[in-house]
Homo-oligomer: A and B are copies of this chain.
Amino acid sequence: MRDVCIVGVGCTPVGEFWEVPLRDLAARAIRAALADAAPYVNGLPVEALYIGNALGGSLSGQGHLGPLLADYAGLPGVLSTTVEAAGASGGAALHAAWTAVAAGAVDVALVLGVEKVTDTVGPERTAALTVGLDYDYEAVQGATPAAMAALLMRLYMNAYDLTLEQFEGFSMNAHANGHHNPHAMFRNLLKPGRFATAPLVAPPVNLFDSAPEADGAAAVILMAADQVHGPADMVNNAAAAPVRIAASAGATDTLALAERADPLWLQAAHLSAGRAFAQAGINPADVDFFELHDSYTVISALSLEACGFAARGTGWQVAANGDLALTGRLPISTFGGLKARGHPFGATGVYQAVEAVAHLRGTGGENQVQGARIGLIQNLGGLAASAFTHVLVAQDKIV
C-alpha cells in the first residue's frame, strides 16, 4: 500500500443554513479544500470524490449525490459515490478515499462530508435521524437515538453508581473549546452547575449531554505521498504541510443495542481503534489528542474505555480530572466536538479530520494542542454500531 497524505482541508461553519441548498453547502467546502491543496495538487486532476452523507435522500430528496456534486463542484466525469454508515458516513468516506489512493487506483481523491438537517423539523426529522438504529426492532417501537443513548447512560450510571453531575465535565470542555472555534455552532461557555439543571431530552440524557443536529459540509483532499511535490516553501512550512494518514480502519457491532452481550462495551469502537493502532504501529499512550464521537456524554466515556484510554468503568472520571482539556493528558473535543461545534451527522467524520489537520499543522489558534504530532479521530454511527478510526501524523518534511 502507498502512503497517503491529506494536502488540503476546508469546511463551512456548522449551524442552521435553511437558505443554502445541499449542493451549495457541499461546493463551498470543496472549493475551500481545493484552494488549500492547490500548491500540492498543482494541476494533477482530482480523480475521485467520496461523499459521506446519510440524510440527503430522506430530507433533501437527493440520494444520488455522486454525479450531482461532482458536476456541481466542477469535477465532471470523476468517479463518485456516496458512502453510508449513518453518523459514521464521513469517517467511512474518508476510509474509502484512503483505500483508493493507497491502492494506487487514483493519485488524488476528494472526501466530502455534507448534511442538511435543520430545515426539516418535527417528527419527519426525528424519523430520518433514526436511520442509525435497527428499524425492525428499535425505531418501529418509537425509539429515537436519544432514547437509546438514555438506556445506555442509565445502565452505565447504575453499573458504576454515578450521578448526572459526574458527566458535566464532558460538556464543559466541549463548550470551552467551541468558544474559540469560528466554525462552531455553539460558542457559549457553560457555567458550572448549569449542566445538572438542563432540560431533559430523554432521562437521564439532558440537553447538554447530547450533540445538536446541524447542517454543514467539510472536505479533505488526499494524495499519494510519493506524488506530493509542492514548492519547498510549502511542504516544509508546518502551517501548510501535508499530514500523513498513518492508519484507516473500520469495524461494526450489532445494529440493535439489545443484541449485544455486553452493552457497556463499544466493540466496534474497540476493534477499529485496535486495528488503527496496529496499522500505525502506535499505542494509546502515543496519542496527543483524540477527536472522539461525543454524540452523548456516555458515548464519550465508553469511547475512552473502548479505545484504551481509560479502564472499564472509569471513562467518566476523565470528565472531572482535567485530562480532557487542551492542556491535559488527552485533549478531546478540541474544537468543541459534536456537542459544541455541532453534529452535521454524515459530515461529522470529515470535520474531525479537518480539525486534526489544524492541530498537526499548528494552525489551531486558541484551540491548538501544543506540540501535537499524532492525532486519533473516531467517528461512530448508530449507537456505535459502525466505527471508523484514523491516525493522522504530522510530517516534519516531505522529501
Q: Which residues of A contact B (CB under 8 A)?
A: 1, 21, 23, 48, 54, 57-58, 60-68, 70-71, 76-86, 92, 95-96, 99-100, 102-105, 130-136, 139-140, 248-255, 259, 267-268, 271-272, 381-382, 385-386
A interface secondary structure, majority = mixed
Instruction: Indicate if the CB atoms of A267 and B77 lie closer than 8 Å.
Output: yes
B-side contacts of A381, CB under 8 Å: 64, 66-67
Instruction: Indicate if the CB atoms of A67 and B139 lie closer than 8 Å.
Output: no
A49: nearest residue on chain B (CB-CB)? Answer: B252
B-side contacts of A92, CB under 8 Å: 81
- Given A1-B105, A103-B102, A105-B1: A66 in contact with B252 (beta carbons within 8 A): yes
Q: How far is the CA of A100 from the CA of B77 in the complex (A)?
A: 22
11 pairs from A and B in contact (CB 8 Å cutoff): A1-B103, A54-B63, A57-B57, A57-B131, A61-B140, A63-B132, A67-B252, A67-B268, A71-B254, A80-B250, A80-B252
Q: How many copies does the complex hold?
A: 2
Instruction: Indicate if the CB atoms of A63 and B249 lie closer than 8 Å.
Output: no
Instruction: Indicate if the CB atoms of B61 and A58 lie closer than 8 Å.
Output: no
Instruction: Indicate if the CB atoms of A61 and B135 lie closer than 8 Å.
Output: yes
Known A58-B58, A96-B96; 9 more pairs at CB < 8 Å: A57-B58, A58-B63, A62-B135, A66-B84, A66-B85, A67-B253, A77-B251, A78-B251, A80-B85
B-side contacts of A78, CB under 8 Å: 251-252
B-side contacts of A95, CB under 8 Å: 79, 81
Q: How far is the CA of A92 from the CA of B80 in the complex (A)?
A: 9
Instruction: Indicate if the CB atoms of A71 and B104 lie closer than 8 Å.
Output: no
Q: How far is the CA of A152 from the CA of B174 in the complex (A)?
A: 53
Instruction: Indicate if the CB atoms of B134 and A79 lie closer than 8 Å.
Output: no
B-side contacts of A102, CB under 8 Å: 103-105
Shortest distance from the beta carbon of A387 to any chain B beta carbon, whole Å: 9
Shortest distance from the beta carbon of A55 to any chain B beta carbon, whole Å: 9
